[in-house]
Amino acid sequence: MRNQEAARYARWAAMAAGMLALAAAGAYVERGVRQARARSAAPKAVSASVEQSAAEFSFSKAEQDRTLFTIRASHATQYKDPNRAVLEDVWITIYGRQGNRNDNIHTRECSYEPDTGAVRCAGDVQISLQDAAKVSGKEPGGTLEVTTRNLSFNRDTGEASTPEPVEFRFPQGEGHGVGVKYSTSDATVRVERDVEFDLAPSERTGGLPVRVTGRSLEFHRKDYRMVLEGPATVSQGDRELTADTFSVVLDEDYHARRAIAEGHPSLRGEQGGAKISVSAGRFEGLLNPAGWVEQILAEDGISGTRQTSAGMDRFTAARAEIEMQPGHNLAKEMTASGGVVADSTEAGDSRHLETDALRITFGAGATASAQRIESAETLGPAVIRSSAQDEDTTLRGPKFTAQFTPAGRLERLQGASGVEISRQAGKAAPQVSSADRLDATFTADGQWNTLDESGNVRFQQGDRQGSAAHARIERATDDIALDGSPVLSDVMSRTTAQTVAVNQKSGEIQAEGPIISTYLPSGDSSVSGFGSGAAHISADALSGSTVSGHVVYLGHARMWQGESVLEADRIELWRDDKKMQASGHVAAIFPQTSVAPGVPGAKSPGRAAQGPTLWEVHAPLLTYWSEQGKARLAGGVVASSAEGSLESRTLDVFLNPAGSAGTPPPSNARGTLGAGAGELNRVLAQGGVVVRQGDRRGMAEQAEYTAADQKFVLSGGQPTLTDASRDTATGHSLTFYVANDTILIDSQEGSRTLTRHRVEK
């Protein structure tokens, strides 16, 4: 929707009605003009052919005791020819059947045929049309002076006519035409052809003269109606209104009250270098007796265009009604209805509006004769589309309201009762959002600047969805800010927060807590296999990128997935690398794979009933690769469980892969029957390893623990194993089982088994 589009169309319609009203003014005058009539009483010499000469002549026609008209002459001469008389200083006064007229036809000389009643006036004739004096004493409404020649008047029919050119004058202007017919019976005056008259410049015409042309002009005094037959034209400066017919309805004081243009009326003109055109099936203007337009109606298919060197504006509707400001020919409010459509194109940008009804209000402009649009409101469901550069935006809603600046620029657009916004930027996936309310601001070039959506906000782009109580979009930065319990989700995750900010160009995301994210079980997830089922992460804040897939959880970060738990100051995820990293006071809990009955080292039924064995690990840093099912802890590690504890510089934890629950183990994988996803099945400690298991203490550079066998293997450096009796075993590698006292010693002398008997814990 262009910023001044609705205001322009309203002004075009106002201008059309104003010109119709001015055209109507040409048919009557505001005040009566009294004429002095000099009559010569001196008789002429009687010639030989004259039968009779009289000082005065008078003839009146009456109907039901009311005089219709009177023919008077100051001198009459009857010739011997029985059917001819000459009347001098002739006055024909028409009163009408209602006695409400005081029309006068005056000429110097006429011939009169008593037998037929014909009066022929070959010379100049003056016709004065005026109402009779009112009983109330109020002056008659006005006088129209017509000058012509070769007039014929029939005494019996009351018809007056001439084929000659006519000129007429009235206080607002003057005009001319060819041929006049005046019927006293139906009080109709008709100018036969080539009608043209000019209205003098005035405040009502905007200081410009108005020219009116038409094929013929009829003035029906009985019903106070003037009709200009077309093709008819009203022009003022560079503006022109054409129609097949112009009609003006007057009141009894001959003030124009209605001006109507019918038969393909069309308004054309220029304004500020723009070419303007408005057409409809019918234009109608309602006028105040003081001369200003009260209301303008246009109906039967309105179509308007405004063309400049930069682009084109178009407007269509079935009907439009314009209320005018009292005392001024300026629009106050316009209501358009019936398939309202407005299109605008400029510099490659386009805008489109569709609605059932539209209301526009106007205010004063920079000058007394200028106007500006103040607001616009759709009165039914509407669709607004805009296309600029590589972005297309569509708004749909039951109602929109727009406000404009004093310069006529669109400043604000509001939507209510449920609004939907669709955006397509370049090749990116379409964005669709909806909310109970919309509040948009606009820049000086007509592009939207900010979008505020509130109340049940929903949006979707591709597989990403979001919701919040409020959302704000900044066009310049392409930032979206969500608050009021915002929720973001896609096919892999769902995140809730207190506030969320997303940059749609870069994909950067910032969120403030409390943050809770849920990652669904998937082989494509960076947390897949860390535990069983969905993974949940909580934190105080979140930052990352939806493009790179790198997300950082900050402050009291905690992840839990099944029985696996991870806590740290910071947890980072890399979507594409399938990697997770935790840093700062890392604490992790891993459930150990259960050992099947009958496997050497299996727990007793009593211990198995106590639940799975949990490993608790502490370190400064943890890195997890989901595709490998491997977690590495570094920087000094302490790990403990019911099976024992260990300390080392690094620790690799190997977990069962995602989807392994209920999967039969391979033939060489002892003790993994029924293993669950994310369960610890092996650990590898390196660097200054210390292993404690019951009263045993082992040291080596490397230690490996396998949950299936519940055994530790010490290697590297000088592996040693000491028990409570301070017996020490050494060797190239030492293997001992958690559940019994069997120790396997591998040394240069060979391998041997050392068995000690202990009371099982």
Specify the pairing of strand 448-461 against strand 431-435.
antiparallel
**Rounded distance, CA 679 to CA 562, Å?**
10
Asked, for residue 351, whether it belongs to a domain, the answer is no
Please report the pLDDT score of residue 620 as a whole number. 98
Please report the pLDDT score of residue 320 as a whole number. 94
Can you give the CATH number for the domain in which 138 is found?
2.60.450
Asked, for residue 263, whether it belongs to a domain, the answer is no
Q: Are 85 and 114 in contact (CB under 8 A)?
A: yes
CA-wise closest residue to 124 among 158, 86, 155, 164: 164
Q: Are 414 and 395 in contact (CB under 8 A)?
A: no
Last residue of a domain, one of 138, 159, 180: 159
Distance of CA 42 to the CA centre of its chain: 84
Instruction: Write the CA distances from 251 to 32, 102, 282, 293, integer angstroms.
Output: 16, 17, 22, 15
pLDDT tens-digit readout, 428-450: 788 899 999 999 998 887 778 99
Last residue of a domain, one of 117, 138, 159: 159
Enumerate residue ranges in the chain where pLDDT < 50: 1-50, 135, 601, 603-609, 661-674, 757-761
Can you give the CATH number for the domain in which 714 is found?
2.60.450.10
Asked, for residue 559, whether it belongs to a domain, the answer is yes
**Rounded distance, CA 708 to CA 680, Å?**
10
Q: Give me the number of domains the chain comprises.
A: 2
**Rounded distance, CA 472 to CA 391, Å?**
18
CA-wise closest residue to 523 among 629, 653, 658: 658
Asked, for residue 155, whether it belongs to a domain, the answer is yes
Asked, for residue 67, whether it belongs to a domain, the answer is yes
Asked, for residue 695, whether it belongs to a domain, the answer is yes
The angle at the Cα of 99, spanning 139 to 106, to the nearest 5 degrees, equals: 80
Lookup: tokens for 745? 């010693």
In the numeric block, the tokens 């003022």 are attached to 236
Domain limits at 611? 541-755
Please report the pLDDT score of residue 35 as a whole number. 32
**Rounded distance, CA 321 to CA 656, Å?**
76
In the numeric block, the tokens 């919040």 are attached to 468
**Rounded distance, CA 116 to CA 99, Å?**
25
Last residue of a domain, one of 108, 140, 159: 159
Please report the pLDDT score of residue 281 as a whole number. 93
When computed from its CA atoms, the radius of gyration of the chain, rounded to whole angstroms, is: 51
Global confidence as pTM: 0.72
Please report the pLDDT score of residue 665 as a whole number. 40
Asked, for residue 25, whether it belongs to a domain, the answer is no
Provide the H-helix boundaries in 436-531: none
Asked, for residue 738, whether it belongs to a domain, the answer is yes
Lookup: tokens for 586? 């890392």
CA-wise closest residue to 643 among 715, 568, 590: 590
Decide: helix, strand or coil at residue 22: helix
